[in-house]
Structure 1
Amino acid sequence: MPAGVYTRAMIERILIVCVGNICRSPMAEIVLRHHLGGGDHVRVESAGLAALVGNPIDPLAQRVLEANGLSGTEHVARQVTAAMIGTADLVLAMQKRHLDAIHAISPQARGKTFLMGRWSGNTEVSDPYGKTQPVFEASYRDIDRMAHDWRMHL
């Protein structure tokens, strides 16, 4: 099987990483879980490199999720750890610099760590934090497209 090709049987736990774990990674967690059918066959989680630990999802991110029939009200931000990375079968990051930070925490994760936008030409997801609702909506559209792409490759 070519590198970077997975089957659902191989992937049981996906970790999605951004910086604060209140905007992009929780949106991606919720959207990817939705694309994968929301079942228990794959556990999708998120964490942040400099997480705003204990904080809920950003209100604008929640608003965008709700507009698309989803919810992040249960989300609580958490800090990424080497243990989280180690137990994940697949680690997805929002930006290339996040990949470097993940590899610094857990060098052995290199073979299972990719950009969320891997199947879209290794596209990054820009940080909407502190910006307007249209910016959050654009991030959501990117994440939704990328989650669909991952579903097609899992």
Structure 2
Amino acid sequence: MPAVDINFDQPIFVISVAAELADMHPQTLRQYDRLGIVSPSRAPGKSRRYSQRDVNRLREVQRLSHEGVSLEGIKRILELENQVAALQHRVSELTQELARRREPLESRIFAAGAAGDVVSLARGQRPRPRSQAVVVWRPRGDL
């Protein structure tokens, strides 16, 4: 049986189904939408559509609420979690960029532009604009 690839961000649940999955009343979901705690997508005709990620977030809101956290506190917690996720994504991007830049120095070429910026170029790549750039390299045999 082939594996099923599920997109957790696909807005597929109408409000009644999402409310049932999250074990909440649909009016509670409307209130959370108004407060900006969980904001579903909108289908043509303005009807709300919830994704699996939205339903999971609703369950997390319910758990925090049962633990005594206010709605403002829950909203702030979710905002901070989003910031952490964005920062983790950025760290991952920067880590990949750093790994890419750790090529052997002899295979790297650098260019200095008229504005004083320095960029790393691939072999055969030319700086833009050519007329105002200085290219520095070291031949492989001259270490």
Give your verdict on TM over 0.5: no
Higher relative contact order (CA 8 A, sep 6+): 1
Q: Which protein is bigger by CA-based radius of gyration? A: 2
When normalised by structure 2's length, the TM-score is: 0.27
When normalised by structure 1's length, the TM-score is: 0.26
